[in-house]
Amino acid sequence: MFLRTRLFNPLWKSTSMMANCIRPSVTHVQFFAFSAKSEDAADIDWDAIDSKSIKKLTSYHMESKLYSQLSDQWKKPLAKKQATKARRLEREAKREPMPEEDQKLVVHDGVQQITYPQDPYGIFAIVQIAGKQYKVTKDSTVLLEKTPFSVGDQIVIEQVVMIGTKEYTSIGRPFIETAKVYATIEEESRTEKVIIFKKKRRKTYQKNKGHRQTIHGIRIDGIEHTITQDLIQ
């Protein structure tokens, strides 16, 4: 036991006083942890256990308590966030995809008939663009991240999640195949600058970097929804 401690502890002295004062790096519990089962003891990597114990002991005595507290303020939330993300990805991987179905159209008043075509300003739509959903109406404007289109181009948005009016509501599962939203790219701009500050302690390194995201402003020209007789309930 003393031979192993001398090899790994640089502060070890041959005197009996130092032997009683200094705590050995490898404890009796670690050394004889699997002595009862010889077949398990043969598979243990004692060097890895010794290195881990020495590293833990050195970091405990050498690192500043204040530095450890400040580091834990961002390390622990980051580890918690990564664990939450891993659990979410695991749940999504196990989740079975929902089968696609026809759109669902519900009339608000069964006695009153549906006016067709609808008033252009009396209909709204919820569209999905680049994974995000937006509620749009005629002549409304939406700010999006940069698209592969140019200013002045007219685009057709076919991923319509929901259509709503005063007389009926249509819900897509997941999208409404008979609905389209027409829009025009009106402007291209950039957002306010976001400052990214990087610094390394005790390395005389710090750096400022700014970023402005390019965005496109689109205006909704109109919402088109075709209703067939078999959809009306």
Which of the pair, 198 or 24, is modelled with greater confidence?
Answer: 198
Q: Which among 20-34, 45-59, 168-182 has the top mean pLDDT?
A: 168-182
Q: What is the total count of domains within the chain?
A: 2
Q: Which domain, by its residues, includes 161?
A: 101-231
Q: Which amino acid is at 215?
A: I
Mean pLDDT over 162-190 rounds to 94
What pLDDT, on the 0 to 100 scale, is given for residue 160?
96
Domain boundary among 92, 110, 145: 92
Are both 126 and 174 inside the same structural domain?
yes
What pLDDT, on the 0 to 100 scale, is given for residue 150?
93
Are both 58 and 111 inside the same structural domain?
no
Mean pLDDT over 74-88 rounds to 95
Least-confidence region, from 101-115, 128-142, 147-161: 101-115
Domain boundary among 39, 69, 92: 92
User: How high does pLDDT run on average in the chain?
Assistant: 82
Whether pTM exceeds 0.75 = no
Are both 117 and 194 inside the same structural domain?
yes
Q: What is the DSSP string of 56-123?
A: HHHHHHHS-HHHHHHHHHHHHHHHHHHHHHHHHHHHHHHSPPPPPEEEEEEES-SSSPPPSSPPTTS-
Are both 122 and 33 inside the same structural domain?
no
Are both 31 and 111 inside the same structural domain?
no
Q: Which amino acid is at 137?
A: T
Backbone phi, psi, residue 106, to 5°? -120, 125
Are both 52 and 75 inside the same structural domain?
yes
18 pLDDT higher than 50:
no
43 pLDDT higher than 60:
yes
What pLDDT, on the 0 to 100 scale, is given for residue 40?
55
- Percent of the residues in the chain that have a pLDDT greater than 90, as a whole number: 50
Q: Which among 41-50, 54-63, 98-107 has the top mean pLDDT?
A: 98-107
Are both 136 and 67 inside the same structural domain?
no
Are both 83 and 123 inside the same structural domain?
no
What pLDDT, on the 0 to 100 scale, is given for residue 227?
87
125 pLDDT higher than 90:
yes
Mean pLDDT over 68-76 rounds to 90
Are both 73 and 161 inside the same structural domain?
no
Domain boundary among 35, 67, 92: 92
Is 158 within 8 Å of 100 (Cβ atoms)? no
Band (29; pLDDT cuts 50, 70, 90): very low
